[in-house]
Amino acid sequence: MNPKELRYAKSHEWVYASEENGAPIATIGISDFAVQQLNDLVYMDLPEVGRILAGGAEGGDEFGEVESVKAVSPLYAPVSGEIIAVNKELPQRLEVLGEDPYGAGWIIKVRMSDSKELEQLMDYATYQQQCAAEG
């Protein structure tokens, strides 16, 4: 996926919006900036399929965590809905987050309950400004 076509939460999760069988689907991962900041990933905890999440641009429900040698970072839901898929291979292959954070490094897929929540997320340019400020 092209990072410029994604939407971003302040907590560094990205969202790719699509449609499957007429339902709005959000594929969610963490940005390259977040992966670089965490550095040396050692563990990832993922949610179960079927869990309902409340999302938000400022950070919705915590749905998992990623741990590096220096910190544990919660993963927050940028949109609301039901988890319909989890990238179960990711915890055994954490290097994928650094190699392909916007493709093979996706974390969960959510059937969105309100696709208008996407409008509250940052576009690529705004997100890049946030990353530069956090630098």
The three-state secondary structure class of 26 is strand
Q: Which two tokens stand for residue 2?
A: 């092209």
Q: How many CB atoms are located within 10 Å of the residue 67 CB?
A: 16
Distance CA 98, CA 55 (A): 25
For each of the chain's 135 residues, which pLDDT tens digit applies?
899 999 999 999 999 999 988 899 999 999 999 999 888 899 999 999 999 999 877 778 999 999 999 889 999 999 999 999 999 999 999 999 999 999 999 999 999 999 899 999 999 999 999 999 987
Domain ranges of the chain: 3-113
Q: How many Cβ atoms sit within 10 Å of the Cβ of residue 8?
A: 25
Which H helix or E strand runs over 132? Answer: helix 124-134
Q: How far is CA 40 from CA 44, 70, 72, in A?
A: 12, 8, 11
Spatial strand order in the sheet of 72-76? 41-45, 62-68, 72-76
Report the length, in residues, of the chain: 135
User: What is the DSSP code (8-state) at residue 123?
Assistant: -
| 3-113 CATH fold | OB fold (Dihydrolipoamide Acetyltransferase, E2P) (2.40.50)
Task: Say if pTM beats, i.e. exceeds, 0.85.
Answer: yes
